[in-house]
Amino acid sequence: MENKAKLGSASLKLAKELKDLSRNANPSFSVGLADDDNLFEWVVTMFGPPDTYYEGGMFKALMKFPKNYPFEPPTLRFKSKMWHPNVYDDGKVCISILHSPNEDPMGYEDISERWSPAQSVETILMSVLVMLSSPNDESPANVDAAKMWREDKVAYKRRVQRCVEQSMED
């Protein structure tokens, strides 16, 4: 019975967030359900932030929510090709706000930077947009992108431009 209650409260929260985001559209991203019968899997389109290397891109992503949302964070995985120090090769986003709300075993992140039930889909997506603008190359998910970001901005920009161009074709 407890699982059904958790599932119910997660569904209610997700339905409310989806409704709010649909009603109050954000010009930086759009969201929708991947499947009309599943509130736990959303498609996201993020628009490359102005005045960044990602400007002009329309990056598709998939956001999956755990059954005990909002007590555990969702995952966010870009489906569009993405070159960024904080995005794994498979598209999975590595950002503090999406890390479980317990102590960081590596001691790198403060618990206040990690997931909390007070977060929302909007705060996550806004954090990812900030991440695109300001990569954290000290704790990279993609070491090659971090190295290029630090050592060869021209090559980094070229590589990102290819991702921007591909995102328009996806």
Catalytic residue among 31, 39, 63, 94: 94
Residue 80 has a CB neighbour count (10 Å cut-off) of 19
163 is known as an active-site residue:
no
Residue 59 CA to residue 62 CA, distance in Å, equals: 10
Peptide bond into 135 cis (omega under 30): no
Give yes or no for a contact between 77 and 94, defined as CB atoms under 8 angstroms apart.
no
Q: Which residues pair with 87 in a beta bridge?
A: 93
Burial 135-168 (b: 16+ CB within 10 A, else e): bbbeebbbeebbebbeeeeeebeebbbebbeebe
Residues with catalytic roles:
94
